[in-house]
Structure 1
Amino acid sequence: MRTIEPTALAAAPDATAPPTATATAPVVRVVVVDDTPDLRHLLRLMLTRAGFDVVGEAADGAAAVEVVGRTQPDVVLLDVAMPRMDGIEALPQLRRTAPGAKVIAMSAFGAAHMANRAVAAGADGYVEKGTSLHSILDHVAAVGAATDRPAQPLTVTPGPSAQPATTPVRPAPGARTPSGTGVDLATLALEHAPYGVLVVSDEPAPRLVTANPAARRLLGAAVPVGGLLGLGAPALADKIAAHRHEDRTEVRVVLDGGEVLHLTLRRTEQGILVYLDHTGEELGMLRRAIAAAAHELRGPITAIDSAVDVLHWNDEPVTEPERDRLLRTVVRQVQHLDRITSDLYTATQIHLGTLHVDPRPVAVGALVAEVLADLDDVAVEVSTDRVALADPLRVEQILGNLVSNAFKYGAAPVTVVVRDGAHGTVDVEVVDRGPGIAPEFEPRLFHEFTRQRGSVARGTGLGLFVVRTLAEAQGGTASHRRHPEGGAVFTVQLPAAR
């Protein structure tokens, strides 16, 4: 676990107690911005117990701009990947809204790459999620002490696993930086990466800045470093130029020889980072699936680890209500992990031909109401008592995936409706009021390992694939339509019991 602090702040002395403010130092005022409620609560709890004043919270960049403008905090803990407006997009607005605030960016992505993006966008520091809460608090204290307020400096005592707050962004040990490019290959890809990685200039006619060996094999020797990419790979150059203004995009490109590649573009301060992989190879799909699953697993693991960290914070006891809330956090995150691993296992069963369902008479309305009973932000409407012939465990898995998707990619209010279908079925609809599904993405909506381009939401890309397959395995269907007032409606039709 790593922390990266790109700005030169005063290093804290080494000790073992949690960071606290001295009696004479001003209390550092903090706003926490993260799209995971459990993690926001854990950060608020730890910051408050360490002597900081959490003056506001927000779940996305747009809300953060409003909260920060209203509260004028000293420090903003800002998640990078969020729906509606991500942290990178919000940073310039936060700077204008509260010019005196220090911003610490947080992300579960690779630290070096995201640190460069965050600092380029105006962040004062960067913390990788998964870092101990002690270390995060040390960074908040150090950044708070460096604010421009005319006050005495904050006395900081780092936790046992903390790293100095002065750690600069620098190449990893043994990293190689190509002469004159300013590009650290260790932050892009290893020399032995099985997929192509290259950096091109951010201009209408992109030039090649650097490429790893796998990219060289795909491109051939026709494009020298510094040369125009279009001279040796015109189709690739055209695709990059068409999408160069997007922060991140995933498309397919057909090279001149007919080879089809999966193309991922990311903007960096050095230029445009390009990943090239074979779309037709099972190995290429497997690599992308592993990367997506690893990223998706990281979130709940971080929250569980943080909850345990709070429970053992400096041997200071927590109140009984707070302990109950922390345990509920752990339960929710374990359930999230269970959904992820269930989808991965189900996808494996589908490919191996061993998927098993156990249909039986199920009162779907009662099942839905029971499964969603603890979710205060989901409305349930049941207008039928008809019994379906379905596997209750698989119906619960379908429901979990659709509701999770509604919150990841959609927006509240989220409603689950159980009603009689038009053709002797029991229909379950999950409705949200988010931005909806892009028309060009609809044909691939239920495909394996696919996510809508431009989305910052996390996910394995398996959820809807599993939903459709499980529905069909029970003799039903899964479909999508647009909500007339905005948003998406996902419908699962299950055969009614005769």
Structure 2
Amino acid sequence: MSALATPRPQRVVIIDDTADLRDLLRIALTRGGFDVVGEAGDGSSGIEVVRHHRPDVVLLDLAMPVMDGIEALPSIRRLCPAAKIVVLSGFGAQQMSARAVAAGADGYVQKGAPLTTILDYVRGVTSTPGERKPLRSLAVVPVADPVADPPATPARPVEPAAEPPAQAPAAQTAGAETAERDAARASTREALDLAPYGVLELADEPLFRIVHANPVAVRLLGIDRTGTPLAVAAPDLAALVSFHRLDTDASFETELEGGRVKATLRRTGWSVLVYLDSTGEDVGRLRRAIATTAHEVRGPVAVLCGIAETLAWDGDTMAYDQTRRLMDSVARQARILDRITADLLTAAQIQRGTLRIDHQVVDLRPVILGVVEGRGDVEVVIDDPRPVRADPLRLEQMLTNLLSNAHKYGAAPFRVHVRPEGAHVAIDVVDHGPGVPSEFREHLFREFARAHGAVATGTGLGLYVVRTLARAQNGDVVHTPGPDGGSVFSITLLAT
């Protein structure tokens, strides 16, 4: 009498930089009869885990630090020629599936798909051993590559009323006329401050000193100092304004700190107005921002949906420790979503000119320890105990952004080092990753900036928000290459 041999469950390795998602996938695959034998958080470590375990199935994320999935795929395929490799990613299939197939993938599934759908898909891919199935994708919404619309000529902006002619020569009316004129100018400025385009008011003189700049113009110029000669803030724009100063309704294009704009000149009785329209570029940047922000939001949402699905399956019988881990995951992913929405809100406040800072005397130690809580790989060194003048909530936002940036693009060990710098206190956030490419360093703190070709994604707002908040608190933030590799981002704030 012979017994039938029990088939060996297929052995799986999960490679993804989100530990919470790895946990959910392990639960789902184990429940579905697979044997999860190894995990890794980046492509390089994943190759070593695959080398050690020689699995039957590999679930591989595309966007990871150190080494992304596309780079790791050929090595994994050479190590396990017969294994089924299923790519997991938040990217649209139309953008990445061809590259994944060329590198050796057997299947593609988006992270936003339900866990049951992912499980069924993996079963389908592994149901025909020795045969690579045509690449399929799940839960994919095709997303076209955003391209900025061509700049449109704006409607003629509202202009300040011309200086009213004097109706009476009597001296007693001069004061009233001056007050009326000043009130008209003030109300006009208030209206222009709400305009979606930039407005510069310049003194009608050779230096073209800046009399007033609305919030959009401040963002485009990268400077906000009344009385500054335009040549200091924007030399190219100043030269063009000087050249066209006598023209009627002159228009031209130029490059500013905040991007390329179409400038239009208008003259009043007392000044020169320059309207800066970057609508076409702003629309393109907005589309790119929506696409990348959607990708950033999709990851935490996928984890939260997966947790809800897992609890619906086994919540009544799940062990306490596992339930506790899932609840910790909910808190982590909710904090990530909160950080993303905080950056979006702050960026909107910056552009509208409504950013508010609550200056207080702040003890740095509790703020820093609160930010690094739960991050076991971050060392805190405080060599300067002086309090600083800052907004504690904004300071927490700045440190959170810099640490998240270090974890996304850098590598351990991580350190937060508080040190004296003259009348200021410097807070260094240090990582030991590959560092920032030299050609990208001058763009680091620009809005929606991301290094060309980087696989790790983000909203492109984090560092822009950090610098703006630092300067609004009478401080600054700078980047320097680490002495032993990696990056050092240093916030400086005035000590009290």
Aligned to 1:447, what secondary structure does the other structure show?
A: coil
Closer, same or farther: CA 389–193 of 1 in aligned 2, 3 Å: closer
Residue 112 of structure 1, CA deviation: 3.2
Which structure 1 residue ranges, 4+ long, deviate > 4 Å from structure 2? 165-170, 192-196
Residue 83 of structure 1 contacts residue 455 of structure 1 at CA under 8 Å; is this kept in 2? no
Question: Does the CA-based 8 Å contact 2:30-2:36 persist in structure 1?
Answer: yes
Deviation of 1:419 after TM superposition, in Å, equals 2.0
What letter matches 2:441 in structure 1? E
Q: Distance in 1 between matches of 2:78 and 2:398?
A: 44
Decide which moves more: 484-493 or 47-56. 47-56
Is the CA contact (8 Å cut-off) linking 1:412 and 1:433 kept in structure 2? yes
- List per-residue Cα deviations over 1:175-200 (Å, max 9, x = no partner): xxxxxxxxxxx96749x98759xxxx
Give, in whole Å, the separation in 1 of the partners of 2:149 and 2:11: 45
Identity of aligned residues (%): 50
Tell me what 1:39 maps to.
21
Amino acid at match of 1:318: M
Q: Distance in 2 between matches of 1:326 and 1:187?
A: 31
Counterpart of 1:451 in structure 2 is: 450
Matched, 1:26 2:32: no
- Cα RMSD of the aligned pairs, angstroms, is 2.9
Quote the residue 1:329 is aligned against: 329
Q: Does 1:104 align with 2:103?
A: no
Cα pair 1:28 1:141 within 8 Å, conserved: no
Deviations 1:307-338 (A, max 9, x none): 11111126652111111110110100000000
Tell me the amino acid that sits aligned with residue 343 of structure 1: D
In the TM superposition, what is the alpha-carbon distance from 1:148 to its structure 2 partner?
A: 4.6
Contact 1:429-1:491 at 8 Å conserved across structures: yes
Q: Distance in 2 between matches of 1:193 and 1:280?
A: 10
Letter in 1 for 2:88: M
1:396 aligns with 2:396: yes
Structure with greater Cα Rg: 2
Match of 1:487 in 2: 486
Cα deviation for residue 365 of structure 1 reads 2.0
Counterpart of 1:433, as a letter, is H
Which residue is 1:283 aligned to?
Answer: 283
Report the equivalent of 2:459: 460
Equivalents in 1 of 2:5, 2:116: separation in Å?
20
Go from structure 1 to structure 2 and tell me whether the alpha carbon gap of 1:355 and 1:50 turns closer, same or farther (over 3 Å shift). same
The match for 1:205 is none
Q: Determine the structure 1 residue equivalent to 2:187.
A: none
1:75/1:143 contact within 8 Å kept: no
1:120 shift after superposition:
2.2
Mean Cα deviation higher: 313-322 or 280-289 = 313-322
Is the 1:359–1:389 Cα contact (8 Å) retained in structure 2? Answer: yes
Instruction: Please name the residue that 2:214 is paired with.
Output: none
Deviation at 1:289, TM superposition (A): 1.2
What is the distance in 1 between the residues matched to 2:364 and 2:254? 48
- Cα 1:259–1:480, aligned 2, differ >3 Å: closer, same or farther? closer
Equivalent residue, structure 2, for 1:356: 356
One-letter amino acid matched to 2:381: E
- Asked if 1:415 corresponds to 2:397, the answer is no
**CA shift for structure 1 position 58:** 1.2
Q: Which has the larger helix fraction?
A: 2
1:97-246 mapped onto 2 (5 Å cutoff): 97-148=79-130, 169=136, 189=144
Amino acid at match of 1:468: R
Q: Is the 8 Å Cα contact of residues 107 and 136 (structure 2) preserved in structure 1? A: no
CA contact (8 A) 2:148 2:285 kept: no
Q: 1:493 is paired with a residue of what secondary structure?
A: strand
Alpha carbons 1:296, 1:459 under 8 Å: kept:
yes
What is the identity, as a one-letter code, of the residue corresponding to 1:46?
A: A
Residues 409, 455 of structure 1: 8 Å contact kept: no
Q: 2:185 matched to which residue of 1?
A: none
Q: Is the partner of 1:459 in helix, strand or coil?
A: coil
Alpha-carbon shift at residue 167 of structure 1 (Å): 8.4
TM-score (norm 2): 0.70
Q: Which amino acid letter does the alignment assign opposite residue 494 of structure 2?
A: P
Q: Please state whether the residue corresponding to 1:303 is helix, strand or coil.
A: helix
